[in-house]
């Protein structure tokens, strides 16, 4: 029994060290860091708070072709996450109708293709309405949707004020996370094998069980990270902002030019009144200044000149 105990203790220690070697930079335990296996189907309720489970799709989590990189190996599959943003300026009364049409199109596509994250409408006054909407959808669906938005905006008499697309390469993150997951699963299998043999003392078995529980929790965490990364690749994001065109004249904003002509005589009288008021306030000071100037010129200045006159 003592001999078996001496063998189990180094084995547990070696397995513990193996758990720390499953990081992105380790190379001893994972010989093949190739393409990770396809992620299982994710639930919409888990990611977005929806009620229905997302149905299985064969293309879920598959790599999407991205731009060539100088450091990428020839023929290597890449995982690219795309993000789009769009700004629309629409005529009066068109913001709410356009947003509702976009929300309807996304919901009709189904949760496997498009999911509305949020949509908001803000009413500043009766003439100006703004809003925003965020959704996640398949890249091919978003491409078709953006083309339809361009056509609908032009038909409604609106303008596209901004448009941008950004791409994030998640290839290394997905491959490294998958490698960590494989390493932890190998460790989990070895720990389960030790428990099945039930060699060693009760303390040794308890130590193996604690290590197995830790590894199982680590596997669940890594799987969640891998699902989130794959979802970002499979479902691109799109943010749309809406605003109302500002008209030169409107009922809520008034007519500045008409108001200026209508208030012309009122403003003129106000200006003349201000001038008269200023003159009335300054008149006593002008009188006092005139008296001082008269005394200076008639009495003080002649005396000063006589004092400066040289003697004969």
Average pLDDT on 246-272 reads: 69
Percent of the chain with pLDDT over 70: 69
- At 102-124, the pLDDT tens digits run 999 999 999 999 999 999 988 87
Residue 19: pLDDT over 70? no
| The pLDDT value given to residue 307 | 76
Average pLDDT on 238-264 reads: 71
Least confident span in 116-120, 190-194, 238-242, 255-259: 255-259
Residue 247: pLDDT over 50? yes
Which residues, 6 or more positions from 59, have their beta carbon under 8 angstroms from its beta carbon? 234
Least confident span in 131-140, 198-207, 281-290: 198-207
The per-residue pLDDT of the chain, averaged, comes to 76
Tokens of 9: 């203790």
Sheet architecture: strand order including 80-90: 114-123, 129-137, 236-244, 80-90, 159-169
| The pLDDT value given to residue 27 | 36
Q: What is the DSSP string of 193-248?
A: HHHHHT-S-HHHHHHHHHHHHHHHHHHHHHHHHHHHHHHHHHSEEEEEEEEEPPPS
| The pLDDT value given to residue 93 | 84
Least confident span in 62-66, 219-223, 295-299: 62-66
d(C-alpha 214, C-alpha 89), whole Å: 54
d(C-alpha 132, C-alpha 241), whole Å: 4
* pTM, 2 dp: 0.52
When pLDDT is cut at 50, 70 and 90, the band that residue 293 belongs to is confident
| The pLDDT value given to residue 303 | 80
When pLDDT is cut at 50, 70 and 90, the band that residue 248 belongs to is low
- CB atoms closer than 10 angstroms to residue 285: 9
When pLDDT is cut at 50, 70 and 90, the band that residue 302 belongs to is confident
Measuring CA to CA, which residue among 176, 178, 164, 169 is closest to residue 69? 169
């Amino acid at each position: 029994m003592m001999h078996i105990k001496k063998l189990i203790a180094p084995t547990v220690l070696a397995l513990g060290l193996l758990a720390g070697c499953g990081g992105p930079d380790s190379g001893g335990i994972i010989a093949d860091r190739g393409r990770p296996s396809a992620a299982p189907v994710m639930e919409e309720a888990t990611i977005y708070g929806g009620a229905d489970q997302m149905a299985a799709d064969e293309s879920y989590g598959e790599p999407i072709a991205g731009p060539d990189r100088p450091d990428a190996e020839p023929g290597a599959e890449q995982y690219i996450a795309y993000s789009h943003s769009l700004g629309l300026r629409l005529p009066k009364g068109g913001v709410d109708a356009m947003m509702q049409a976009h929300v309807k199109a996304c919901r009709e596509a189904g949760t496997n293709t498009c999911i509305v994250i949020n949509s908001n409408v803000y009413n500043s006054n009766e003439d100006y309405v703004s809003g925003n909407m965020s959704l996640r959808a398949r890249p091919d669906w978003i491409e078709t949707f953006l083309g339809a938005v361009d056509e609908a905006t032009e038909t409604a008499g609106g303008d596209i004020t901004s448009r941008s697309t950004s791409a994030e390469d998640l290839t290394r993150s997905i491959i490294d996370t998958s490698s960590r997951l494989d390493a932890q699963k190998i460790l989990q299998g070895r720990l389960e094998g030790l428990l099945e043999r039930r060699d060693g003392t009760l303390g040794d078995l308890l130590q193996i069980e604690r290590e197995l529980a830790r590894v199982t929790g680590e596997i669940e965490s890594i799987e969640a990270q891998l699902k989130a990364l794959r979802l970002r690749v499979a479902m691109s994001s799109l943010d749309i902002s809406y605003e109302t065109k500002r008209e030169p004249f409107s009922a809520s904003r008034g007519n500045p030019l008409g108001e200026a002509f209508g208030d012309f005589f009122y403003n003129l009288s106000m200006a003349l009144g201000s001038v008269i008021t200023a003159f009335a306030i300054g008149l006593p000071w002008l009188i006092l200044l005139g008296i001082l100037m008269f005394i200076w010129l008639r009495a003080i200045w002649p005396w000063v000149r006589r004092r400066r006159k040289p003697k004969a």
